[in-house]
Structure 1
């Protein structure tokens, strides 16, 4: 689960979930009030998950899976990523450059 890089406060799932909706926007820590951002390593993980999802979708399309099933696979992958974000990523107290 997310924890504040400044004070170590562990976010509750309900507090951490909105981070996945706006990855570029920082959020304030409920305890210390410092703005928190995704770390650069977390944003790179996000890119890798997105790339893996695109490869799975392209592969499912190349094996002639019907289009509604391809959309279903895409929906499940995106939903799973958004719901698991608080368990996978880390926070930083400053916006780090990606490269």
Structure 2
């Protein structure tokens, strides 16, 4: 789980997941309310994981798997990726380069 660079407190999984689905490039610490930013490495990890669920669905359709099974596979992989993505988050208190 990420740790605030300002106050040093660790975020919970729920706090991290809620902040990841918000728009914007900064995440506000739930403890000290200071802005935190994803590191470049964390942006790369989370950015590439977004494509995994649609890729799994495309592959299943390409191999002729039933559309309902393909949709179920997509939903399961999406929830799995959403569940593990907070563990890959690293924070910094400075806005860095995009990549």
Scaled by the length of structure 2, what TM-score is found? 0.80
The aligned residue for residue 56 of structure 2 is 56
* Residue aligned with 1:37, SS: strand
**Aligned-CA RMSD value:** 2.0
Q: Distance in 2 between matches of 1:14 and 1:54?
A: 24
The aligned residue for residue 73 of structure 2 is 73
Q: CA deviation at 1:77?
A: 1.5
* Residue aligned with 1:97, SS: coil
Scaled by the length of structure 1, what TM-score is found? 0.80
Q: Distance in 1 between matches of 2:49 and 2:30?
A: 28
Q: Which runs of 5+ in 1 are unaligned?
A: none
Q: How many residue pairs are counted as aligned between the two chains?
A: 99
The aligned residue for residue 27 of structure 1 is 27
Q: CA deviation at 1:9?
A: 1.0
Deviations 1:25-66 (A, max 9, x none): 523223332111222211111222123333322211111011
* Residue aligned with 1:6, SS: coil
Q: Which runs of 5+ in 2 are unaligned?
A: none
Deviations 1:60-83 (A, max 9, x none): 111101111111111112111222
